[in-house]
């Protein structure tokens, strides 16, 4: 792995850090799994993990460094934090939506947001959506925003029609 970034997101899993990093690195290009650290005897009364089991896994998705931590069941992911995946085409939107939502919570899918099988929230966002909801014409922006609110997975063509009026 390259030199650590100034800020690196750390994702807390119960004991699925390796499984999650394998899952994510098969979805994103320019991704890799890096170093692992392991639990030792120290602190076992606190963490309860067997010595030698995986503590952290460093990984990279599209050049963004992450750390996955097997910290136990104390904390769960929620929608307060999500990762945006910016897409240029409907094919990209479809690909990331299908892959990341596989095995996830279908009830948590709205307006381009989804929750994966580990509980991590993602936003699959066409770049054009950001452009259109910031349009200088407030009527166009509102039509696009309203159209987005009715979607689970974002449909670029439907947004285009809303933008055009």
| CATH classification at residue 34 | 3.30.720.100
The last residue of one of the domains, among 18, 41, 70, is 70
Query: How many domains does the structure of the chain reveal?
Result: 2
* Mean pLDDT for the stretch of residues 27-35: 96
- pTM for the complete prediction? 0.91
Close Cβ partners of 87 (under 8 Å, ≥ 6 residues apart): 93, 96, 124, 125, 126, 127
Which of 25-34, 40-49, 102-111 is predicted with the least confidence, judged by mean pLDDT? 40-49
* Mean pLDDT for the stretch of residues 39-57: 87
CATH number at residue 121: 3.10.180.10
Q: Which helix (H) or strand (E) holds 23?
A: helix 17-27
The mean of the pLDDT values for the chain is 94
pLDDT at 4: 65
* Mean pLDDT for the stretch of residues 130-148: 97
* pLDDT score of 154 more than 90: yes
pLDDT at 46: 78
Task: Say how many Å lie between the first and final Cα of the chain, rounded.
Answer: 48
Range of the domain at 38: 10-70
């Amino acid at each position: 792995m390259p030199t650590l970034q100034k800020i690196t997101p750390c994702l807390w899993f119960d004991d699925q850090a390796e499984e999650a990093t394998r899952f994510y690195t098969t979805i994103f290009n320019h991704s890799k799994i890096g170093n692992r650290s392991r639990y030792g005897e120290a602190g076992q009364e606190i963490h309860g993990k067997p010595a030698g089991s995986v503590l952290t896994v460093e990984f990279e998705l599209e050049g963004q460094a992450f750390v996955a931590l097997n910290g136990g069941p104390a904390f769960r992911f929620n929608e307060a934090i999500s990762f945006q995946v910016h897409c240029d085409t409907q094919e990209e939107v479809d690909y990331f939506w299908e892959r990341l939502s596989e095995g996830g919570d279908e009830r948590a899918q709205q307006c381009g947001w989804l929750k994966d099988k580990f509980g991590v929230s993602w936003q699959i966002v066409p770049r054009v959506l950001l452009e259109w909801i910031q349009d200088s014409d407030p009527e166009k922006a509102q039509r696009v925003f309203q159209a987005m609110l009715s979607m689970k997975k974002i449909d670029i063509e439907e947004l285009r029609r809303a933008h055009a009026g």
